[in-house]
């Protein structure tokens, strides 16, 4: 992979990491703690959730690091990778969609995939015409959830494009948001924004 695609970001599916880790640490209560670690958007939160896991199972916290977190933990993804996903659900869905095409010779396979993608794009265009607004319903649902969470935030404006956002619950975390640059010191904005942007556009 590195020889042919040396700039590619190599990741591992967090679901598979968890499945292997769970063979030794089977307590159901540990599942949420694992996913909190995997989905933490910055290294401070990563270490916080890892420390919480260590309180229950020091060995489990040690075992979780046997696979380098840069491959499966959101906090270690490089900025600019344009994807926040920690699992390979997208790849699995694509492989399932082309399973029949994969048995054809290379040119025929590519042609079948091209036709399937073309049909899917048109089907999605047709579906999008029935949306109640211009935003993909699942993304709009996420936006409404984020808006609801603002009741637990305190926001200070610097008079220009910057904001300080403080969580009123939990650890009282503070982050700096710059809307012009579309950045947040929490790290999530830089990873998630391109994904949201793609879904806000109608093909």
126-157 pLDDT, tens digit each: 988 888 887 888 888 988 998 898 889 999 99
Cβ atoms of 95 and 103 within 8 Å: the answer is: no
Cβ atoms of 17 and 72 within 8 Å: the answer is: yes
Average pLDDT of span 9-18: 89
pLDDT, tens digit (0-9, with 9 covering 90-100), for 70-95: 999 999 988 766 678 888 888 888 88
pLDDT at residue 8 is higher than 80: no
Average pLDDT of span 193-203: 43
pLDDT computed for residue 22 by the predictor: 94
**pTM assigned to the model:** 0.76
Averaged pLDDT score across all residues of the chain: 86
Assign 1 a pLDDT band (cuts: 50, 70, 90): low
pLDDT at residue 169 is higher than 90: no
Helix H, strand E, coil C: the string for the chain is: CCCCCCCCCCCCCHHHHHHHHHCCCCCCHHHHHHHHHHHCCCHHHHHHHHHHHHHHCHHHHHHCCCCCHHHCCHHHCCCCCCCCCCCCHHHHHHHHHCCCHHHCCHHHHHHHHHHHHHHHHHHHHHHHCCCCCCCCHHHHHHHHHHHHHHHHEEEEECCCCEEEEEECCCCCCEEEEECCCCEECCCHHHHHHHHHHHHHCCC
pLDDT at residue 194 is higher than 80: no
Greater confidence, 18 or 83? 18
Average pLDDT of span 97-112: 93
Greater confidence, 179 or 18? 18
Assign 200 a pLDDT band (cuts: 50, 70, 90): very low
């Amino acid at each position: 992979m590195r020889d042919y695609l040396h700039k590619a970001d190599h990741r591992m599916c967090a679901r598979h990491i968890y499945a292997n880790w769970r063979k030794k640490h089977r307590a159901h209560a540990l599942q949420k703690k694992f996913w909190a670690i995997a989905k933490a958007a910055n290294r401070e939160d990563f270490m916080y959730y890892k420390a919480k896991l260590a309180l229950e199972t020091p060995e489990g916290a040690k075992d979780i690091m046997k696979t380098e977190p840069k491959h499966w933990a959101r906090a270690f993804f490089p900025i600019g990778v344009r994807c926040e996903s920690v699992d390979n659900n997208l790849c699995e869905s694509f492989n399932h969609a082309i399973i029949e095409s994969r048995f054809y010779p290379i040119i025929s396979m590519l042609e079948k995939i091209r036709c399937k993608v073309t049909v899917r794009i048109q089907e999605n265009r047709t579906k999008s015409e029935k949306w109640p607004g211009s935003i993909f319903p699942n993304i709009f649902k996420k936006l409404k959830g984020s808006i609801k969470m603002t009741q637990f935030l305190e926001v200070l404006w610097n008079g220009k494009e910057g904001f300080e956002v403080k969580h009123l619950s939990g650890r009282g975390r503070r982050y700096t948001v710059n809307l012009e640059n579309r950045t947040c010191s929490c790290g999530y904005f830089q990873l998630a924004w391109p994904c949201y942007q793609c879904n806000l556009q109608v093909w």
